[in-house]
């Protein structure tokens, strides 16, 4: 943190931003009410959105994981912090993130070591209440979440706030650095950052952040639920009947037509189709039915233990559940990661690689440049450019040795240990000793 922060132009923008929030606050409440029609959890615990959570922890480590993906990347680090004797407060904006935290840390919540609440609205009042009640030791904001009042309130109260597992995608960086550069300037308000690669460190430094530590990608250290792998092993042969099997993960709105057409044109193959958001489950089921695809929903086909007495003749299993991605991935020979056929960009490729599954991803990978670029170069990820290349990758897949994926994965693991090693130096505002948080392989 520097005495020159915020610069004058940003100070003026923050005043306008604060006024806008007070005007638009009723709109934000209405938005949550509307979202609650599809997911009732959006409408629960509204007081927490104003910073009025009942604090059961005092001076915890605060981890902000806005949604499901961020929560999954935070999980191994939270486990390590708990093992060091810390208590942990997690905050979320979406129900998916909150539910994942409750599912993953139910035992610790019951023991009073973890608390899960909504992140406050980005107003000075809400954050003043939130920080007064919890008095966190420091905050870790997963990935890249830049909220002005969150940043300024932490600075005012002396709570060190760090970006963690952070990346600055090229498109976002270019956009933020153009014009007035206000959003980029806000990165200078963080106490520092734990970033995925040296390239990301260079981008954050250019935006104005100091105290940056290259620690790698936390998702490489995610725990793998062995019960899900065992359930898939029991079911796989019966369900797929020996056919080549592909799991489509995190499929988003706007690319279903491409994938469903691929399924219809891929004979003698089996597919697991997992939409990104639970509110899309019914819509995707309707699209599969309209396309004449033989499919069944996981919620109707399998019991709570992921088993089934009888199985129908189907070509697609619709994964209409949350928290079971490793089960779906364990069923397949290779994974197709969604999001790459829309301009918003592809999603996480690390989970399939963790199970030694080769990955196929669409053209738009700017959101996951690390580790997608490295995985493509290593030959463990197939980067297709259009629907025709996707179909070819499915009907005539390139062989990828499991040992190649294992070696790639091992080269990029260890981010939890590097983050823990960097934390004392980051809190002291000084660089880590040479090599203390150097990434294994040296190329991230």
Query: With contact defined as beta carbons under 8 Å apart, do 359 and 405 qualify?
Result: no
Decide if 338 contacts 248 (C-beta within 8 A): yes
User: What Rg value do the Cα atoms of the chain yield, rounded?
Assistant: 22
Q: 201: closest CA among 218, 183, 187, 182?
A: 187
Distance (Å, whole) CA 104 – CA 352: 20
Which are the contacts of 436, defined by CB distance < 8 A and separation ≥ 6?
421, 422, 425
**From residue 45, how far is each of 29, 41, 50, 54 by CA, in Å?**
12, 8, 10, 10
Residues 11 and 2: their CA atoms lie apart, in Å, by 14
| 106-to-42, 45, 102, 369 alpha-carbon distances in Å | 20, 18, 5, 33
The DSSP code sequence of 352-375 is HHHTT--EEE-S--GGGHHHHHHH
Contact status, residue 325 vs residue 347, Cβ threshold 8 Å: no
Catalytic residue among 70, 100, 324, 374: 70
H helices within 358-437, ranges in order?
369-378, 387-395, 402-412, 415-427
Nearest to 65 by CA among 25, 110, 116: 116
CB atoms within 10 A of CB 322: 16
Count other C-beta atoms under 10 Å from residue 159's C-beta. Answer: 19
Q: What's the CA gap between 440 and 43, in Å, rounded?
A: 44
Mark whether 70 is an active-site residue. Answer: yes
Distance CA 154, CA 145 (A): 14
Residue 47's φ and ψ, nearest 5 degrees, are -60, -30
| Residue 211 token pair | 């105290």
Q: Tell me the two tokens of residue 7.
A: 């610069």
Q: Which residues are annotated as catalytic?
A: 70
């Amino acid at each position: 943190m520097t005495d020159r922060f915020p610069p004058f132009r940003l100070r003026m923008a923050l005043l306008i931003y604060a006024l806008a929030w007070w005007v638009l606050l009723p709109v934000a409440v209405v938005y949550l009410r509307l979202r609650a029609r599809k997911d009732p959890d959006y409408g629960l615990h509204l007081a927490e959105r104003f910073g009025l959570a009942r604090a059961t922890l005092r001076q915890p480590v605060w981890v902000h994981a806005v949604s499901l993906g961020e929560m999954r990347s935070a999980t191994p680090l939270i486990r390590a912090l708990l093992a060091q004797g810390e208590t942990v407060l997690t905050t979320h904006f979406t129900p998916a993130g909150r539910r994942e935290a409750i599912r993953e840390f139910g035992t610790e919540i019951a023991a009073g070591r973890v608390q899960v609440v909504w992140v406050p609205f980005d107003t000075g009042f809400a954050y003043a209440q939130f920080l007064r009640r919890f008095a966190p030791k420091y905050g870790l904001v997963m990935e890249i979440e830049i909220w002005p009042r969150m940043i300024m309130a932490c600075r005012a109260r002396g709570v060190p706030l760090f970006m963690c597992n952070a990346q600055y995608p090229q498109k976002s960086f270019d956009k933020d650095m153009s014009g007035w550069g206000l959003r980029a300037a806000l990165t200078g308000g963080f106490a520092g950052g734990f970033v995925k690669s040296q390239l990301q460190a260079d981008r954050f430094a250019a935006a104005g952040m100091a105290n940056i530590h290259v620690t790698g990608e936390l998702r490489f250290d995610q725990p793998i639920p062995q019960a899900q792998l065992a359930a898939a092993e029991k079911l796989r042969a019966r369900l797929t009947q020996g056919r080549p099997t592909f799991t489509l993960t995190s499929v988003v709105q706007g690319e279903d037509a491409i994938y469903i057409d691929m399924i219809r044109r891929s004979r003698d193959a089996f597919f697991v189709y997992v939409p990104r958001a639970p509110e899309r489950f019914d819509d995707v089921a309707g699209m599969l039915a309209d396309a004449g695809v033989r499919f069944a929903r996981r919620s109707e086909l399998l019991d709570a233990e992921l088993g089934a007495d009888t199985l129908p003749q189907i070509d697609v299993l619709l994964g209409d559940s949350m928290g079971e991605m490793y089960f779906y991935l364990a069923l397949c020979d290779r994974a197709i990661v969604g999001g790459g056929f829309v301009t918003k960009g592809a999603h996480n490729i690390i989970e399939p690689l963790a199970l030694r599954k080769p990955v196929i991803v669409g053209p738009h990978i700017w959101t996951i440049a690390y580790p997608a670029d490295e995985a493509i170069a290593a030959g463990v990820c197939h980067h297709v450019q259009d629907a025709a290349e996707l179909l070819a990758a499915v009907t005539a897949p390139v062989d990828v040795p499991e040992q190649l994926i294992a070696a790639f994965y091992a080269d990029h693991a260890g981010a939890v240990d590097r983050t823990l090693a960097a934390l004392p130096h980051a809190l002291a505002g000084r660089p880590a000793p040479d090599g203390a948080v150097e990434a294994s392989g040296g190329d991230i």
